[in-house]
Structure 1
Amino acid sequence: MLTIAPTLPSSRIDPVVRAALAEDAPWGDLTGEVFLPAAATASAELTAREPGVLSGIDVFSAAFRLTDPAVRIQILAADGDRFDAGDVLARVTGPARAVVQAERVALNLLQRMSGIATLTRRYVDAVEGTGASITDTRKTTPGLRALERHAVRCGGGVNHRFSLSDAVMAKDNHLAVLQQQGLDLTEAIRRARAALGHTTTLEVEVDRLEQIEPVLAGGVDAIMLDNFSLQDLVRGVTIVDGRAIVEASGTVTLETVADVARTGVDVISSGALTHSARHLDLGLDMTVTA
């Protein structure tokens, strides 16, 4: 499990930031143009107003770089770093109009990503020593999945399948169709397995203990125990007995995640990492010189 996230490539960053900048100032910043002299310069410090885990510093920098290449960023902390209130994380200098124009987009994305990283770290810390990994889900903000999933990795979590194209995950709706067609669950999974390449992961979601054996007999790589009680999670792990990766999912909270981890599951997935993380309080304290 990674505790420090790999670099997020500019090919993932720039399209998102460009779209955000175009949304915020489609024809330029009218206020800056009428109130700030063209020759004015600005210097600013990115300061933490509460403790947290950093994520998105390159995204923050890109907002200024794509607004005006003349803006300079001094990065003082890396993605995945923990920080305290009052810590200075970066310094920004350059043309005042550009710095002011990019400020909101830069902070919006950085606060969002750092909030996700900070919440993820709390989950990861809560299960420390159990052997369970914390993973996200596809419950991400449309258009921001790459950034939000990077933030999960910054917090020490791991990523689930990135998209519907990456792996096979048969959920309750898929299984319901099989039952309507009168197909045997085990045989249906075997057919799916045979149709897949050897590098493609096959996971099946179950919501009852009696589904586990038929699913395992089909040859799955992972089995998701969805909305199981703690007692049934223990039973489920015992039944699987190492024959597949066991994932627990459904209404997992920061208050319950440690108990879920102690049942012996391998992976705990939580949509809350991305859909319920609040923005972290980070500020850009600025001085403008005419």
Structure 2
Amino acid sequence: MSPPDGLLPPPEAVVLDDVRRALLEDLGDGDATAALLPDQPETACLLCKEDAVVAGRPWFDATHRALDPQVRIEWGVAEGQYVAAGTVLAVLHGRTRALVSAERTSLNFMQTLSGTATVTARYVEAVRGTGATILDTRKTLPGLRHAQKYAIRAGGGANHRIGLYDAVMLKENHVRVAGSVTAAIQAARAARPDLPLIVEVETLDELREALSAGCTRILVDDFDAETRREAVRIARGAPFDGRIPLEVSGSVGLEGLRAIAEDGVDFISIGALTKHVRAVDLSLKLGPPPA
């Protein structure tokens, strides 16, 4: 796969804060083992030991530069690029102690974010050509939300809301308190007209109500296949004419994913992309690249 166009990391301050916290928990008041090494110029190689999609370079770079501002990192791959097992991702030139001290933290970022990007790419490939977009959720590792959502983009997916502050999302509890879908939408629009409004519906009647009241996107949660196809027919037909996109969520895995996309929904959100992440197998070894 090709790297996504226009892939931008979070602001530098976010990356640096992630790195600061990670180094603090690993180094404490100093690396007792690295202090035993001679502090001399050294080369190290970052090796990917399995097929993967690369993600996490900004965090990897910032980790090493935090301990050695003069380190030189020569990347051989781009963010979002698919690589085969055995690929040398980067060659580093720096000081022995700093390279060793930064090793685990830098790998933790790279292996976690590459794992997120790799599984996202599988889901994106599974719906290719259907018109459906793969979305993430807020089910991220605590403290690494911006990093994982960046990795989703590196894998070809798209971000749902970043947090509770950048969109209004009405679910069954909000509808219950308001008394109806329409009343909940009206209250949300009155309170925060500046934010996107996403509404979860549980029945076709609630879908019609949300379509009539108007919102940014409608989430059809845990609809069976027949009901889901009917929801698409209603939303695409008169008088609604597809003006409000539909999102599917709830226990969505790779099996059956394409069938859901082929039903005609616009978005599929998948919590497993970030909450069930499996780290990619990487290593950072001192010495020149293997011949």
State whether structure 2 residue 9 is matched by structure 1 residue 13.
no
TM-superposed deviation, 1:114: 0.3
Contact 1:133 1:157 in 2 (8 A): yes
What residue in structure 2 maps to residue 209 of structure 1? 204
Look up the match of 1:277: 277
Q: CA deviation at 1:285?
A: 2.1
Shift of 1:196: 2.9
CA distance in 1, matches of 2:16, 2:184: 43
Q: Distance in 2 between matches of 1:184 and 1:258?
A: 33
Code of the aligned partner of 2:38: P
1:73 partnered with 2:68: no
Does the CA contact (< 8 Å) of 1:188 and 1:218 recur in 2? no
Cα deviation for residue 76 of structure 1 reads 1.5
Structure 2 counterpart of 1:190, which letter? Answer: Q
SS of 1:166's partner is coil
**Cα contact 1:227–1:250 (8 A) shared by 2:** yes
Confirm or deny: 8 A CA contact 1:153 1:159 kept in the other structure: yes
**Equivalent position SS for 2:258:** helix
**Aligned residue number for residue 221 of structure 1:** 216
Alignment of 1:191 with 2:187, yes or no, is: yes
Provide TM-score, normalisation by structure 1.
0.92
What letter corresponds to residue 108 of structure 2 in structure 1?
Answer: N
Q: Is the 8 A contact 1:42 1:287 kept in 2?
A: yes
Q: Given residue 115 of structure 1, which amino acid in structure 2 is its aligned partner?
A: G
Partner AA of 1:151 in structure 2: A
The 2-side partners of 1:88 and 1:188 are apart by 53
Q: Is the 8 A contact 2:175 2:184 kept in 1?
A: no
Moved over 3 A (4+): none
Q: How many residues align?
A: 280
Question: 1:6: how far off?
Answer: 2.1
**AA paired with 1:269?**
S
The whole-number CA distance in structure 1 between the counterparts of 2:184 and 2:12 is 42
- Asked whether the 8 Å contact 1:225–1:246 carries over to 2, the reply is yes
CA–CA separation in structure 1 for the residues paired with 2:201 and 2:183: 16
CA positional deviation for 1:8: 3.9
Q: Output aligned runs, 1:75-224, within 5 Å.
A: 75-178=75-178, 183-197=179-193, 199-224=194-219
Structure 2: tracts of 5 or more residues without a match = 237-241
Q: What secondary structure does 1:27 align onto?
A: coil
Partner of 2:37: 36
What is the CA–CA distance in structure 1 between the aligned matches of 2:54 and 2:181, rounded to whole Å? 45
2:50 is aligned to 50
Gaps (5+ residues) in structure 1? none
Q: CA deviation at 1:257?
A: 1.3
Query: d(CA) in 2 for partners of 1:84 and 1:36?
Result: 33
Aligned residue identity for 1:37? P
Equivalent position amino acid for 1:9 in 2: P
Q: Aligned residues: percent identity?
A: 44
SS in 1 for 2:287: strand
Alpha-carbon distance between aligned partners in 1 of 2:91 and 2:172, rounded to the nearest angstrom:
50
Residue 27 of structure 1 is matched in structure 2 by 29
Cα deviation for residue 72 of structure 1 reads: 1.7
Return the offset for 1:190: 2.4
Q: Does the residue aligned with 1:30 lie in a helix, a strand or coil?
A: coil
Offset, 1:184: 3.7
Cα distance in structure 2, aligned partners of 1:14 and 1:78: 21
Note closer, same or farther for the CA distance 1:79–1:8 as it changes in structure 2 (3 Å cut).
farther
Matched residue, 2:239:
none
Across the aligned residues of Structure 1 and Structure 2, the Cα RMSD in angstroms comes to 1.5
Given that 2:174 and 2:184 are in contact with CA atoms closer than 8 Å, whether structure 1 keeps it comes out as no
TM-score, normalised with respect to structure 2: 0.92
